[in-house]
A and B are shown apart, each in its own frame.
Chain A
Amino acid sequence: MPRILIVEDDDHIRTALRLMFEGEGFSVDDASTGELGIALFSRMASDIAIVDVMLPGMSGFETCENLRVQSDLPIVIVSARDDTADVVLGLESGADDYVTKPFVPEELLARVKAHLRRRPDKSTNAFSLGDLQVIPDEGIVRHRDGAELHLTSTEFRLLTDLASMNGKVLSREDLLERVWGYDYFGDSRLVDVHIRRLRMKIEPDPANPTFLVTVRGTGYKLVI
């Protein structure tokens, strides 16, 4: 039974979400503030978290960052605003996905399930990117000097999926389908922000990427 953490300050929404996820067979832990949510997470070891952005006290972004430091669990943020800046900020604070209110509950449910279904791809062979060694079957990226580089599961998946294409381009839609596991929701910003985050970690000069290359208007490819 998957454990889901819901951090949402609106009592009605929180209760409704709890009922819905329980109806789908989840064990639900819910919290009305970020602080409570983090405390709950450290006790319950949730499999996935839904975090509202507008929280009293610690913001959703901070909560997100805090959870990310502790774990690789998938985090979906719920934002009341669809502004690109907000979405980007949310994703950069470590979230894997986002939905905006008013969301379609079935869509949120489908996304959560997709994240839980996702398993690390271990079929890709190990490869190296400059000074980095990517080892999919161990799920780690190691620097030549032995230090381990931390990637979230979404980032790792993004990297290995692109690697498996042997330099061919994957469109944003393809990536959404392969990495996030949805075929019809989510928008391209989700991909763009994750690519940027990944570049910050693996590229020697993230502003002028040499491995993770944008193909204008089409998508991205990985040059090994």
Chain B
Amino acid sequence: MRRRSLRLRLLVTFGLGALVLSSLFASLTYIGVQHLLVSNRQQNDLRQTYANAALVRNTLYTSPPELANLLNSIQNATSSSVLVQTHHQWLSRSFGASTTDVSPTIVKTVIAGHAIEQTLLSKGRLIFVVGVPIPAVETQFFEVFQLNSLDHTLRLLLLVLIAGALLTSLVGISGGLWVSRRAVRPLEEVSLAAAMIADGALNTRLVVTRADREVQRLTESFNQMVSRLVERLERDARFASDVSHEMRSPLTTLATTASVLQQHREELSPAARESLDLLLADLSIFQSLVEDLLEMARSDAGAVPLVMETVPAIELVRQSARSGARRHGIDEPSVLVEKGTGEPLVSVDRRRFERVITNLIDNAHRYAQGAVAIRIAREGRQLAINVDDAGSGVASEEREQVFERFFRGRAAHDRGIARGTGLGLALVRDHVRAFGGTITVEDSPDGGARFQIMLPVVLEERE
């Protein structure tokens, strides 16, 4: 399963966290403030109702006809509606409120002699009803308050709180962004560095910055690990190189002594002669092997720097083919240049390039009765150098492996071919890569294998 990214998770956690917390805070604030406001208002209303009820009672005692005027003045003075019931008859029906606002239960309670207060929803509006009995004159006084004005304040508050919650969430998200970047960036740097190291850039190190302590520690231990690893690799490479070095002297003695024996061949018995032939043949393999190992150790350890030169490619291939063929005492393959190739320049280490061509020719000689031709063609900004043979080709599943060290393909097993070192093509690949080129194997137009070197062209030589 593909894991979600840490960065996303941190972001979501921070964002959601901020949202939940700020919503909770906003809700609590809203409820609290609402409660406070409403109860405050109701206290006032209650006080006012009792005062008004006292006025009504006094008026009914002294001059009942004045009641209507009183009620009007009350209504004008306050924003409430007033209802009065005497002997079960509604006396006043004021504007803005109707007797239906006062439910029969409220009326009953008040008739029974109890004062009552109630907040209720009537026709979609919040109202506060207060009923006060005036038993002396068998009258019930009701006052109905609209809570709408409070509603307005509360809505404003709600709006402010929602905005606040959103803002807090945004702050949370940006905080998450910051934290995740800070936490994730070192991880990304490490993984990038690790990938570069895996690609062979062994001198890659992380930069130790004035970062958090944990990150600094990670950076340091990562760098330390890489250094140890590189040390280990170098030690291994040095070991291979040392071993080969140590073999040089005895091998030189062996080879020289064998050639002394060869000088005295005529004095040897037939059995001794045959043994000498075996000895000479294997000595030569041994010698090539040590040479190849040394060459490989040199480029592995980077002990010998490349000596890059910009040279005309075609001339270089011709000379390399000639010296390679002569070195191995085999036929020199013809070098064919495709039309339109021009006189391209390439940047190579001349000695190593010679080695590349020599090894490819030698390889074709061993496994495919020799190279038919070396064909050179321009392909855009690259130069293709194809070493073609007419042998049995390289099986498609072996086309990567042939460049591996000590790989022996079917071709090597099938026939009793003079053994190579198993390092020739691996060296070819190492060298070509060092020039910034690539090497692949495919089918040649001659029916065998085509080893194709692609090298970047430096620039066209002026004729």
> A-side interface residues toward B, CB under 8 Å?
10, 12-13, 16-17, 19-20, 23-24, 80, 82-84, 101-106, 109, 171-173, 183-185, 187-189, 216-218
Contact = CB atoms under 8 A, between A and B. Distances in A.
A95 B284 CA distance: 27
Contacts of B255: 102-105
B249 A20 contact: no
- Counting from the closest, the 4 A-B pairs by CB-CB distance are A217-B311, A184-B326, A16-B256, A23-B263
A125 B316 CA distance: 33
| Residue of A16, A17, A23, A189 with highest tally of chain B CB at under 10 A | A16
B304 A24 contact: no
Contact of A216 (B252, B311, B322, B326): B311
Contact of A217 (B287, B312, B351): B312
A17 B323 CA distance: 27
Nearest to B244: A102
A196 to B, nearest CB: 14
Given A80-B245, A187-B351, A218-B315, A10 B253 contact: yes
Interface stretch (B60-68, B165-173, B184-192, B290-298): B290-298
**Dominant secondary structure of chain B at its interface with chain A:** helix
A55 to B, nearest CB: 13
A162 to B, nearest CB: 18
Contact of B259 (A80, A83, A105, A185): A105
B350 interface: yes
A173 B256 contact: no
A103 B258 CA distance: 13
A22 to B, nearest CB: 9
A32 to B, nearest CB: 14
Interface string B325-366: 011000000000000000001000011001000000000000
Contacts of B298: 82-83
B137 to A, nearest CB: 127
Given A17-B256, A216-B311, A171 B327 contact: no
Q: How large is the interface on B (under 10, 10 to 19, 20 to 34, 35 or more residues)?
A: 35 or more
Contacts of B354: 187
Contacts of B319: 171-173
B238 interface: no
A10 B249 contact: yes
Contacts of B307: 84
Nearest to A80: B248
8 contacts: A10-B249, A10-B253, A19-B256, A23-B263, A83-B304, A171-B315, A173-B323, A184-B323
Nearest to B329: A184
A13 B351 contact: no
A16 B255 CA distance: 9
B257 interface: yes
Interface string B240-266: 000001011111110111111001100
B138 interface: no
A216 B312 CA distance: 8
Given A82-B295, A187-B351, A217-B311, 12 more contacts: A10-B253, A12-B250, A12-B253, A13-B256, A16-B260, A17-B256, A23-B263, A82-B298, A105-B255, A109-B259, A184-B326, A217-B315
Interface in B271-306: 284, 287, 290-291, 294-295, 298, 303-304
B314 to A, nearest CB: 10
B310 interface: yes
A221 B202 CA distance: 43
A13 B322 contact: no
Interface string B15-48: 0000000000000000000000000000000000
A16 B319 CA distance: 35
B260 A101 contact: no
Contact of B316 (A13, A80, A82, A217): A217
A185 B312 CA distance: 22
Contacts of A104: 255, 284, 287
Given A80-B248, A102-B251, A102-B290, A183 B263 contact: no
Given A84-B307, A173-B322, A217-B345, A188 B351 contact: yes
B299 to A, nearest CB: 12
Nearest to B322: A173
A8 B185 CA distance: 61
